Amino acid sequence: MNSLSQPFIDYLKFEKRYSAHTVRAYNDDLDQFFSYMETAFGESTISAITTSIVRSWLASLKEQKIKSKSINRKISSLKSFFKFLLRSGVLEKSPMAGIISPKSGKRLPVYVEEKDMQLLMEHVEFPDTWKGKTDRLLIRMFYNTGVRLTELVTLKNGQLDSNAATIRVLGKGNKERIIPISTALLDEITQYQKEKQVTLGLDGHEKTDTLFVNEKGRALYVKYAYLAVRNWLSHVTTIDKKSPHVLRHSFATHLMNHGADLNSVKELLGHSSLAATQLYTHNSIEKLREVHKKNHPRG
């Protein structure tokens, strides 16, 4: 970690309480920038950073064929860093003035078709083992709640409210949201919790209070959940991306296709603005266009 960015990284960790993944992304972007600045210009101090140096670095990224989306993220990292320095009184002016983010075409979210999700949940047989039961409930939870990968694997037993049939999720930026769950899903979770104590012999002396655990009673790794979803989705769909995030996209897209209110979907997903949620309206429009073309006599 670069000593120049250390106070900023600490701020993201301990004050903003960003996830480890997000903090790592900021840190990597800043390390790359400072490394380039020292190699290309022989400069290694904050006061030496100019708009020209930033533009030179961005140009070098374009030459390396780095995608516009990745470059925009790096620009965002720098802007946040210099904004922090301005507030801290380290700088009086940000070198990011005049830096324009390259345009990047927004890709529509990839999702699993409803019929394929129905096939997976109702007809694909999961093994009658602890792993099989865990995998099945994982996929049900991802698809029925739209939660993020880290949100689900870190979900605690206490975040489930059986009386209200809701789960309390701690999302990005430490923001909390409440997600309703169906009676059927609540029953499955309750049954899983009971079996967890009996099958694994935890019986009130659990090694972890996370909802999902492996055969040893320990919290799941993020990679475990990712690989489990990829494996089971491969049974029912041929889409290239098979991940928990695709199930999150499927959750939102299917809600929109069935007429859900955009603001409600935004709240369920934990988006900070409507801009991110509006991407799912495009999928809905594509679905309507497909129906129109297929069923209208002059379609």
| Interatomic CA distance for residues 87 and 133, integer angstroms | 50
Residue 271 a catalytic site member: yes
pLDDT of residue 19: 86
pLDDT at 171: 87
- Nearest CA to 275 out of 262, 289, 260, 256 is that of 262
Can you tell me the mean pLDDT for 115-143?
97
pLDDT of residue 102: 79
**List of domains in the chain:** 6-88 (1.10.150), 114-295 (1.10.443.10)
Average pLDDT over residues 51-57: 95
Q: Which two tokens stand for residue 106?
A: 């927004």
* pLDDT, greater one: 250 or 170: 250
- Among 74, 133, 148, 242, the one annotated catalytic: 148
What pTM did the predictor assign? Answer: 0.67
Does the structure show a pLDDT above 90 at 204?
no
Query: DSSP string spanning 226-255?
Result: HHHHHHHHTTT---S--SHHHHHHHHHHHH
> What pLDDT digit, counting tens, does each position of 148-195 carry?
999 999 999 999 999 999 999 988 878 899 999 999 999 999 999 999
Q: Are 170 and 155 in contact (CB under 8 A)?
A: no
Pick the more confident residue, 207 or 201: 201
Whether 177 is catalytic is no
Question: In the predicted model, is pLDDT for residue 297 greater than 80?
Answer: no
Active-site annotation holder among 18, 143, 192, 280: 280
Among 140, 248, 249, 254, which one carries the catalytic annotation?
248
Active-site hit among 73, 156, 172, 241: 172
| 73 part of the active site | no
Helix (H, G, I), strand (E, B) or coil at 194: helix
**Which residue is catalytic, options 249, 254, 266, 271?**
271
Please compute the mean of the pLDDT values over residues 51-61 and round it to a whole number. Answer: 94
| 268, pLDDT greater than 90 | yes
Find the catalytic residue in 168, 245, 282, 287: 245
pLDDT value of residue 298: 67
The answer to whether residue 288 scores a pLDDT higher than 80 is no
